[in-house]
Structure 1
Amino acid sequence: MSSITADGLAAPAASPVGGEVGPLEQKHLQNANYRAVAGSEELTKTHWHIASANALGWGFDGMDGVIFGLISPLVVKEFALTIPEYRSGIQIALFFGIAGLYFWPWLSDRLGRRTLLAVNIAMFSLLMPVVALSPTFATFVIARSMVGFALNGEWSLGSMLVAETWPARLRGRVISASRASWCLGASLAGGITGLVAADFGWRVAVMVPGVIALLAIYVRATCPESPYWVRAQDRKQRIAETLSRGGSVSDEDKTWFGKAKSVGIRQAFLPDALPATLVALFVACCSTCIFGTVGGWMPLYLATEKHWSTAEYSLFYVFWGLSGFLGLCVAGWLADKIGRRLAFVVTLIEGAIFLTLWVLTDNHVLMWVFGLAWSFGFLGFWGPSTTLTAEVFPTRIRGAANGVVWAIAYFVGFVLFPFVTIALQQYAGSFTLSFLCIPVLMAAMAVGVTMMVPEHSGKELNEIIV
């Protein structure tokens, strides 16, 4: 018989052998890929397929986000926009992206992780050409909104699927390494913008990510459903059938069922989940506020204030992304080896120091040196960040709670905080003051992480008590 853990489910590493298996799991066990991740701690090809699919999704997410950042000066120029007008249009698109951040993970608690991961990536890839063909800025904003809604579920779905299938001892590094491919996508975006947008315009550059429709086929063909999710559905069905027959269930089952059958925003704020939700909100909101200024305004800053050409700042993004990729891989390794908290602190402080030096120098060579140095920690801390939010919630609400947390964080970091960024830019007549706020936020986050974040390295998901 399998062991029952804190969430009342058999952990995938101890899949029932010869014991009672629910009807949904019996169906999934007919699939070799599911069996490969449901029965042991040994790594298999299926584990690598899951990690690769998530990494590809993150990579194209990075390419999408950075391409839109890099072409912002070109879009502003073509549609004759002011900076506040452009900011407002992007913020409208972000509202739809925030809806997608909640919708897809919420739906995954009902329909599963794998299929939705494939669906939202495919939708994104098919919508990119619509953006490229936008005749007006209003059309651009509408199309960008649809793309954001389609793609933003990947944030949580991919990380959850990896977290729920890979061995606990490797969870931090594999989620971080998968997340690191965002940086490779950012580097590729720099190459695309430099080689394509500079010569053929931003519309052609935006068309390139549309080829990722094939990724959905890869995800659907090679990735099994999460054993954690499957066993939660079987448990839910068993309890419901027992109660419908007038039978009795244990107090533990009754309490769990009362929560599991009503998944939504309110669940994340009930007393048992509230501590995890508050910690996850702190980490996610800090992450988005820190990234929002750089992610949204660095190309414009380099173009207008440092007078870098499109080709140069695009090339800078290539190497900036590669340095961030290394930072994320190292941060993931540290998260498993020395713990989540210390990995956070190391990467945050490193990034804060070199970002400050980068902003304060006018030396062209030092801008390159300091820029590549700060990307190591600035992007690296996202490894422990996305690992923590993927692991702190019980299976019954893991999708919905992740959706709530990242939706709120996106609203705070990418909708509200840009008003601060632009207010400072308008007040000072430069982005310098706005960029100098970021190292301060990173140092503050390091202090908060030290005080608030629990240590989960090496623990099975259902051993993490919330």
Structure 2
Amino acid sequence: MSSITADGHSTPAVDQAGGNVGPLEQQHLRHANYRAVASGAEVTKTHWHIAIANALGWGFDGMDGVIFALVAPMVIKEFALTLPEFRSGMQIALFIGIAGLYFWPWLADRFGRRTLLAVNIALFSLLMPVAALSPTFAIFVMARSLLFFALNGEWSLGSMLVAETWPARLRGRVISITRSAWCLGATLAGAIAGLVAANFGWRAAVMVPGVIALLAIYIRSTCPESPHWVRAQDRKRRISETLARGGSVSADDSAWFGKAKSVGIRQVFMPDVLPATLVALFVACASTCIYGTVGAWMPLYLSTEKHWSTTEYSLFYVFYGLCGFLGLCTVGWLIDKIGRRRTFIITLIEGAVFMTLWVYSESHIWLWTFGLAWCLGFLGFWGPSTTLTAEVFPTRIRGAANGVVWAIAYFVGFVLFPFVSIALQQHTGSFALSFLCIPVLMIAMAIGVFLWVPEHSGKELNEIIE
């Protein structure tokens, strides 16, 4: 795409559309890590830095969510809360956090992916100790809200950066495999809860992840900006300057600029993008509803109804994360081999079958066996889920569109749907029926994927939609 002189600077080059490289890209081409991903054809060390950065972000996300789930029984006990009171507090935090799902990707469409990714992770690391030191439940909820707001944009930024830099033939595989780091974060959270929370209390366990703030420096220093985003900014500037001096632009440029100069919620529902938005909303909302019950209530379910100790269910989470890691790595290989749709359906059906068997199990042996079996598909389907939402939108609104889709999905799956789970628990006195809703939702999602989700395996981003 560009040629580099002996002193490391770029000479005038042409972009993928055949025009001169814009001034912003000329600036970025001075840096070796940007040049390494500018063509997108060959995998370089910089590609791996980007993948590792995304994986770290997912790992922090898994650590955060699982630690707070594992210590939930201790928090409820310390603050003398009823289950509805605890649920309401967490839903307030989730509701505030939903704003972060839109805010950070929306900001990334204006200022780029890389820097905001590092900021998200640094804020997460600095806010964890604040939550750990909360003297009252109200302050705990406030700290939790800020954590959600800070972290909720991180994984979508990382997924977009991977999607916009890695070659198309590997895009789904890398997004899915880096997504598996969430499971390693969950495993680490289980180990922290089992070793630290069980012996020193939940506050000490929540404090531990704060030490990872320095990793944001690694992300900021090794990852380049997305070439897709850079070129979109140059194209916007070129068209704007041409129109300002009374020049004319092509019909394609004119149509593109009319959309690109107004990034926001309205664009996500315009006729050319609406089909992608509806598919992404279906996938995202189904994903969060499926995960919501397990993410919020499994430790409490194992503690109160299966009579597991903190140490035992924390150990289960260690293997839960490891099995999910295996599932997502397997999915990462399958997603580019047999396609998104087939992999989606296989993982959903596998998870639904073993989740059903798990709910009806009473012995520890079968709870462990079926529990670890459903982890493969239950966590594995997030590979194609996050791949689809990262690749289905045009670059000009990829951040904002991801923010809109996942903000709506979080509201549906993590704010509204828990009312269903708690209502069923309060009515029956058990979480069993709430957990049995999950296989039903997974089968329904598999049917929807078969009917509505298009196949994007191996396609360049600009081939999918632009």
Q: CA deviation at 1:60?
A: 1.0
d(CA) in 2 for partners of 1:421, 1:58? 26
Q: CA deviation at 1:333?
A: 1.4
Q: 2:315 matched to 1:310?
A: no
**Structure 1 residues 177 and 131: alpha-carbon distance in aligned structure 2, compared to 1, 3 A threshold:** same
Task: Specify the alignment match of 2:80 in structure 1.
Answer: 80
1:448-463 correspondence runs (5 A): 448-463=448-463
Q: CA deviation at 1:354?
A: 0.3
* Structure 1 residue identity aligned to 2:141: V
Contact 1:62–1:185 (Cα < 8 Å) also in 2: yes
d(CA) in 2 for partners of 1:19, 1:232? 13
Task: Specify the alignment match of 2:442 in structure 1.
Answer: 442
* Structure 2 residue identity aligned to 1:407: A
Write out per-residue CA displacement over residues 307-365 of structure 1, whole angstroms, 9 at most, x where no aligned residue: 00000000000001100011111112111111110000000000000000000010110
- SS of the counterpart of 1:337? coil
Task: Specify the alignment match of 1:395 in structure 2.
Answer: 395
Task: Specify the alignment match of 1:6 in structure 2.
Answer: none
1:61-76 correspondence runs (5 A): 61-76=61-76
Write out per-residue CA displacement over residues 249-304 of structure 1, whole angstroms, 9 at most, x where no aligned residue: 11111111111010001110000000000000000000000000000000000000
The TM-score with structure 2 as length reference comes to: 0.96
d(CA) in 1 for partners of 2:140, 2:121? 20
d(CA) in 2 for partners of 1:29, 1:18? 17
Moved over 6 A (4+): none
* Structure 1 residue identity aligned to 2:411: F
- Give the alignment's Cα RMSD to 1 decimal: 1.3
Task: Specify the alignment match of 1:417 in structure 2.
Answer: 417
* Structure 1 residue identity aligned to 2:203: R
Q: 2:344 matched to 1:361?
A: no
Q: 2:31 matched to 1:31?
A: yes
Q: CA deviation at 1:40?
A: 4.3
Q: CA deviation at 1:211?
A: 1.3
d(CA) in 1 for partners of 2:166, 2:214? 24
Contact 1:15–1:38 (Cα < 8 Å) also in 2: no
Write out per-residue CA displacement over residues 59-101 of structure 1, whole angstroms, 9 at most, x where no aligned residue: 0110000000000000000000010000000000001110000
Task: Specify the alignment match of 1:376 in structure 2.
Answer: 376
- SS of the counterpart of 1:459? coil
Task: Specify the alignment match of 1:108 in structure 2.
Answer: 108
Q: CA deviation at 1:20?
A: 1.0
- SS of the counterpart of 1:350? helix
1:81-100 correspondence runs (5 A): 81-100=81-100
d(CA) in 2 for partners of 1:422, 1:341? 32
**Structure 1 residues 18 and 429: alpha-carbon distance in aligned structure 2, compared to 1, 3 A threshold:** closer
Give aligned pairs, total.
455
Q: CA deviation at 1:39?
A: 2.0
Task: Specify the alignment match of 2:173 in structure 1.
Answer: 173
Contact 1:391–1:461 (Cα < 8 Å) also in 2: yes
Task: Specify the alignment match of 1:298 in structure 2.
Answer: 298
d(CA) in 1 for partners of 2:121, 2:70? 22
Write out per-residue CA displacement over residues 115-152 of structure 1, whole angstroms, 9 at most, x where no aligned residue: 00001111111111110000000000000000110011
d(CA) in 2 for partners of 1:217, 1:304? 42
**Identity across the alignment (%):** 80
Contact 1:15–1:39 (Cα < 8 Å) also in 2: no
* Structure 2 residue identity aligned to 1:416: L
* Structure 2 residue identity aligned to 1:184: L
Contact 1:287–1:382 (Cα < 8 Å) also in 2: yes
Contact 1:101–1:155 (Cα < 8 Å) also in 2: no
* Structure 2 residue identity aligned to 1:150: A
Contact 1:15–1:40 (Cα < 8 Å) also in 2: no
Q: 2:287 matched to 1:287?
A: yes
Task: Specify the alignment match of 2:239 in structure 1.
Answer: 239
Contact 2:54–2:155 (Cα < 8 Å) also in 1: no
Task: Specify the alignment match of 1:342 in structure 2.
Answer: 342
Task: Specify the alignment match of 1:254 in structure 2.
Answer: 254
Q: Structure 2: which 5+ runs fail to align?
A: 3-13
Q: CA deviation at 1:16?
A: 5.7
* Structure 2 residue identity aligned to 1:306: K
The TM-score with structure 1 as length reference comes to: 0.96
Task: Specify the alignment match of 1:187 in structure 2.
Answer: 187
Task: Specify the alignment match of 2:131 in structure 1.
Answer: 131
- SS of the counterpart of 2:263? coil
d(CA) in 2 for partners of 1:259, 1:242? 17
d(CA) in 2 for partners of 1:183, 1:138? 30
Q: CA deviation at 1:18?
A: 9.7
d(CA) in 2 for partners of 1:17, 1:132? 52
d(CA) in 2 for partners of 1:386, 1:293? 19
d(CA) in 2 for partners of 1:297, 1:285? 19
**Structure 1 residues 40 and 305: alpha-carbon distance in aligned structure 2, compared to 1, 3 A threshold:** closer
d(CA) in 1 for partners of 2:46, 2:17? 20
Contact 2:177–2:383 (Cα < 8 Å) also in 1: yes
* Structure 2 residue identity aligned to 1:374: W
* Structure 2 residue identity aligned to 1:88: S
Contact 2:49–2:222 (Cα < 8 Å) also in 1: yes
Q: CA deviation at 1:155?
A: 2.2
Task: Specify the alignment match of 1:10 in structure 2.
Answer: none
d(CA) in 1 for partners of 2:16, 2:311? 57
Contact 2:40–2:165 (Cα < 8 Å) also in 1: no
**Structure 1 residues 372 and 169: alpha-carbon distance in aligned structure 2, compared to 1, 3 A threshold:** same
- SS of the counterpart of 2:271? coil
Contact 2:40–2:166 (Cα < 8 Å) also in 1: no
